[in-house]
Amino acid sequence: MKRILSGLMALAAATAPLTAQASSSEALISFHGADNGSWERRAAVQDLLRDHYGFDQVRVLVDATAAEVPKEVRRFLEKPARPGDQRFVWVSGLKGEAGKTVCPGPAAAPMRPSASTLVLAPDCYKPVIRFPQGARHYRLSAPAPGAAAARVGRIDARDPGLVALITLPVGDDRYVAGADSLIFDSLKAGGKAGIVDPTYLLRALRAGFRWNGTAYTPTLDLFYGGAHEAVGPFGFRSDQTGAALLERVRPVKRKAGRKAGRLRVHDSPDPHTAAALTVRKPGPVRVLRADRSGAMRYVAIGDNLFGWVRRHDLHL
């Protein structure tokens, strides 16, 4: 009888469903070649992500060289994931200065995130991060993540619920450190909600990056599967608007009246190669900064449109 009972117990244990492993949220941070305050910011970011956003692990690349950063990012993004896992990558640093770069090489193979992922990194990461079919690129206009039904293309069932990339400046330490500070302040401001919102961070960079002399244009590439509960701590906040960020991040010193007629808004400060759209409705625009040449201005038109316009098209 004992043998029969033991055999039944062993069979039950072998056929019982495995206990589901809990999902995790992890972050990888690299402030390579940033300002002297980067050490303090690393510790502050670790505490913020753990205490206010519930990340289980926050790893900071302290000893990695610039060339090693892309390799670490690849390993982090592609390591096996469990359902519900979330990953956050924040890479800032140098590009093309004395051979230093945090960018992947020109022959780098695509990186395919295995979990819901938000990446903050230089524009050079965009060509190598593989997005699911139907991802959208936001450069001039504001993203509308709620319109998930408007996605096009087939979606692989293995795709994570969210993959997003927000571009950061590279090169001059002032620009790198300035963007880092804007992101950190935005994360602090949103800590109570516990949601890292990619659209909110994009608006903060657009409205708050006021350093003249750079061609930096914040952009967002976003795939969103439409399931809020599947992408925490990543999600979308409904309590912040573009107007609120324009007023709150840094006071706008002046508005610029626009010339009568159409206004061409470009997605980069090079009007000869940049894609553009035409705004026909008259009204004022907010001038945020100037490019290196001084011929172009980065402006906000209303709450949802950001781009470059020719200086001579504005009354300054």
Choice among 44-48, 94-98, 148-152 with the minimum mean pLDDT: 148-152
Is the pLDDT at 216 greater than 70? The verdict is yes
CB atoms within 10 A of CB 19: 6
Of the two residues 152 and 265, the one the predictor is more confident about is: 265
What percent of the chain lies above the pLDDT cut of 70? 78
Nearest to 104 by CA among 119, 117, 123, 77: 123
- For CA atoms 18, 19, 25, 30, give the dihedral sign: negative
The mean pLDDT value for 282-307 works out to 89
Nearest to 48 by CA among 208, 235, 184: 184
What is the C-alpha to C-alpha distance for residues 144 and 153, in angstroms, rounded to an integer? 18
Choice among 35-39, 224-228, 230-234, 249-253 with the minimum mean pLDDT: 249-253
**What DSSP character marks residue 131?**
P
Residue 226's pLDDT is: 66
Is the pLDDT at 188 greater than 80? The verdict is yes
Residue 164's pLDDT is: 94
The mean pLDDT value for 263-267 works out to 91
Most confident of 42-46, 125-129, 146-150, 281-285: 125-129
Residue 262's pLDDT is: 83
Of the two residues 2 and 272, the one the predictor is more confident about is: 272
Residue 17's pLDDT is: 41
Of the two residues 282 and 138, the one the predictor is more confident about is: 138
Give the 3-state secondary structure of residue 33: coil
Nearest to 205 by CA among 190, 221, 183, 187: 183
Residue 192: pLDDT band with limits 50, 70, 90: confident
Residue 273: pLDDT band with limits 50, 70, 90: confident
Which domains, ranges and CATH numbers included, belong to the chain? 25-245 (3.40.50), 257-315 (2.30.30)
Residue 193's pLDDT is: 77
Most confident of 11-20, 200-209, 231-240, 277-286: 200-209
Q: Are 282 and 260 in contact (CB under 8 A)?
A: yes
Residue 41's pLDDT is: 76
Q: Are strands 25-31 and 86-92 parallel, antiparallel or unpaired?
A: parallel
What are the structure tokens assigned to 132, written together?
A: 């699911």
Report pLDDT digits (tens) over 80-111.
999 889 999 999 887 655 667 888 988 889 99
Residue 3's pLDDT is: 46
Q: Are 205 and 123 in contact (CB under 8 A)?
A: no
The mean pLDDT value for 245-253 works out to 62
Is the pLDDT at 13 greater than 80? The verdict is no
Choice among 15-29, 132-146, 266-280 with the minimum mean pLDDT: 15-29
